[in-house]
Structure 1
Amino acid sequence: MADESGAPVSDPLPGGADPVAAMLRVLDLSSSEARTTEDIFTGASQVMPQGRVFGGQVLAQATVAAIRTLPPERVPHSMHGYFLRPGDSSRNITFSVDRIHDGRSFSTRRTQAFQNGMPIFSMIASFEDEDPGIEHAEPMPVGIPQPEDLPGLEQQLSGLHPTSRRIFAASPIELRHVTTPIYLEPSFPATSRQAVWARTRSRLPDDPTIHRAALAFLSDLTIQEPVLRAHGLAWATPGLKVASLDHAMWWHRYARVDEWLLYVQESPSARGGRGLSTGRIYDRDGSLVASVAQEIMVRVPADEDRPPVSAGGSS
């Protein structure tokens, strides 16, 4: 299989496998019985078209690995991770969890992901016993179309090469952009904001750990796009290079990821080839489920013909 340039591309779902089932297999880490100073887990990788591990997969797996070292009543509330090296999606990943601290209400874990003996991702996460206390939340934006009123991504990308369409169909997450996707063409006028509805393509088990991990998986999807929208860029821009540098996430409230979630995103800044995006994830009832921040590296080839744009507007 090859992409539009003729380069070989791996089949993302050999044999027509169910993408959600494939994600669940990836999240089902195996553990080593021998424990010294760290807990060791191993996870498979999803096959990706260019051979690089999807960052959201590693986020989700690292979260699961850390959760495995804690009692069920202690749940994740925040994580901060750095993408250190590209991962090879044809190989398994080893996760080592360091039990940094266990207090009366909070626990801290450091998780490192390795391939070939080299770290590809490093995360520190905090966990808590959920207790009553003060509460407020930024409300969901008003006037956002419902997902049933928006075309599916496959419809919006009907002009895409069949191979590329299959790659999108192989994702376990269904996406519906409130504004036109920027996979093929940039958005005009330029804006540093967007909103996307997302959910898994089929039902997930009731296990809350699965939903919290799947939310981490989902959080790495489309978060880079406000940076590109602000500068009139599409993913298909010739020579464009984008790589995630770090990722932070805060779980505020529990939500099922097999039900529609609204991911509201914006980019407050870009400078020196780095762009920052932030996001808020809401459930259908308007509850703020999670907050996300990610910085990316962006390399844009010099193009004297590309018109200057300015960021502004809203999703």
Structure 2
Amino acid sequence: MLQQLLDVLTLEDTGNDGFLGHNMHPQGFRVYGGQVLAQALAAAQYTVDSERAVHSQHAYFLREGKTDRPIQYQVERARDGGSFSSRRVVASQDNRPILVCSLSFQLPDDSFDFQEPLPGVRGPEELLSERERALASGRLNEDFMITTGEDLDVRMVVPVDWRNPEPRSGTLFSWMKTTDALADDPALHRSLLTYFSDTMLLDAGLVQHGRSYWDRELQTASLDHAIWFHADFRADQWLLHSADLERNSGGRTLIRGRFYTREGKHVATVMQQGLMRKR
């Protein structure tokens, strides 16, 4: 449910810029990386003036998160300047870091503006959601519903049968939004887009070779993740996410993601490098 996700993104203040977060999928085989990224952003946002919006987050995944225990977030106030603020966040379980990230926040500035146009793809009304597809195929994994839960509506422009993928171009387009309306809180919408941002990225590298995360001959994991925010948006309205494969080499895959509003505004860019190798 969407309320469960909103509760997960609302952290408990433990004092001294420390925060505690709980897990969205306690029965899952691991903690979803997008959850840790979003909670780290939420923790940092608690320590920054609301006028300063996040414009970048750079993170490294260090260990797999355990779903049966909460995650502790410790924020370091690295700097507060005239127009920028910097924060460093360490996410830990059992006193061992599972993610480290740096974030930068900025006061509004409209000096220049340029972007590439919205890709020409089918609109979401013509498409089935990933949840509908999973239910129709009888393959809904109720313990780890990232794109198939009742909290998010995710619709692939050209769906992939991840149980039997065929090699195709490493470009995936998906429409995404929450299933219900949200409060007018820009920080919450940024946290939710960060949660979205870990989806379909490694998949773009895998599908190039006709492989998927179901392939037990492969070892896959997110290594590092960066996101840049360019403009305001709402996570409860349709966002087009494009995932484009940049390079597969050295047992790693590198993918670029972009988020656009329905009106064509490019609001965020993501880069992720992942482990992708034969066991």
Q: TM-score range by the shorter chain?
A: over 0.9
> 1:48 deviation in Å?
4.6
Q: Is contact 1:180–1:187 with CA below 8 Å preserved after alignment?
A: no
Q: What residue is the counterpart of 1:254 in the other structure?
A: 232
Gaps of 5+ in 2: none
Q: What residue is the counterpart of 1:41 in the other structure?
A: 19
Q: What residue is the counterpart of 1:159 in the other structure?
A: 137
Amino acid at match of 1:186: P
Within the alignment, does 1:179 sit opposite 2:161 as a pair?
A: no
Q: Is contact 2:28–2:143 with CA below 8 Å preserved after alignment?
A: no
Q: What residue is the counterpart of 1:27 in the other structure?
A: 9
CA distance in 2, matches of 1:118, 1:198: 33
Within the alignment, does 1:286 sit opposite 2:264 as a pair?
A: yes
SS at match of 2:43: helix
CA distance in 2, matches of 1:165, 1:74: 37
Change (3 A) 1:162 1:286: closer
Within the alignment, does 1:149 sit opposite 2:126 as a pair?
A: yes
- Normalised by the length of structure 2, the TM-score is 0.94
- Alignment equivalent of 2:30, drawn from 41, 48, 52: 52
Q: Is contact 1:156–1:181 with CA below 8 Å preserved after alignment?
A: no
Q: What residue is the counterpart of 2:199 in the other structure?
A: 221
Cα displacement string for residues 14-39 of structure 1 (whole angstroms, at most 9, x for unaligned residues)? xxxxx211111111111123x2xxx1
SS at match of 1:242: strand
Q: Is contact 2:222–2:275 with CA below 8 Å preserved after alignment?
A: yes
CA distance in 1, matches of 2:79, 2:161: 43
Change (3 A) 1:102 1:131: same
Q: What residue is the counterpart of 1:133 in the other structure?
A: 111
> 1:131 deviation in Å?
1.7
Change (3 A) 1:73 1:288: same
CA distance in 1, matches of 2:278, 2:235: 34
SS at match of 1:276: strand
- Normalised by the length of structure 1, the TM-score is 0.84
> 1:43 deviation in Å?
1.0
> 1:296 deviation in Å?
0.5
Instruction: Name whichever of 20-29 and 164-173 sits farther off.
Output: 164-173
Q: Is contact 1:53–1:89 with CA below 8 Å preserved after alignment?
A: yes
CA distance in 1, matches of 2:81, 2:144: 47
SS at match of 2:54: strand
Amino acid at match of 2:126: D
Change (3 A) 1:21 1:164: closer
Q: Is contact 2:172–2:200 with CA below 8 Å preserved after alignment?
A: no
Amino acid at match of 1:102: D
- Alignment equivalent of 1:75, drawn from 38, 44, 53: 53
Amino acid at match of 1:237: D
Cα displacement string for residues 250-282 of structure 1 (whole angstroms, at most 9, x for unaligned residues)? 010111111110001111101111000101100
CA distance in 2, matches of 1:51, 1:194: 25
Within the alignment, does 1:266 sit opposite 2:240 as a pair?
A: no
SS at match of 1:179: coil
Amino acid at match of 1:56: G
SS at match of 2:204: helix
> 1:159 deviation in Å?
2.0
Cα displacement string for residues 53-76 of structure 1 (whole angstroms, at most 9, x for unaligned residues)? 110001111001111111110110
Q: Is contact 1:79–1:250 with CA below 8 Å preserved after alignment?
A: yes
CA distance in 1, matches of 2:178, 2:4: 12
Within the alignment, does 1:66 sit opposite 2:78 as a pair?
A: no
Amino acid at match of 1:149: E
- Alignment equivalent of 1:198, drawn from 160, 169, 176: 176
Return the structure number with greater strand share.
Answer: 2
Gaps of 5+ in 1: 1-18, 302-315
> 1:138 deviation in Å?
1.5
> 1:224 deviation in Å?
1.2
Within the alignment, does 1:239 sit opposite 2:221 as a pair?
A: no
Amino acid at match of 1:254: D
CA distance in 2, matches of 1:171, 1:114: 28
Percent of aligned pairs with the same amino acid: 36
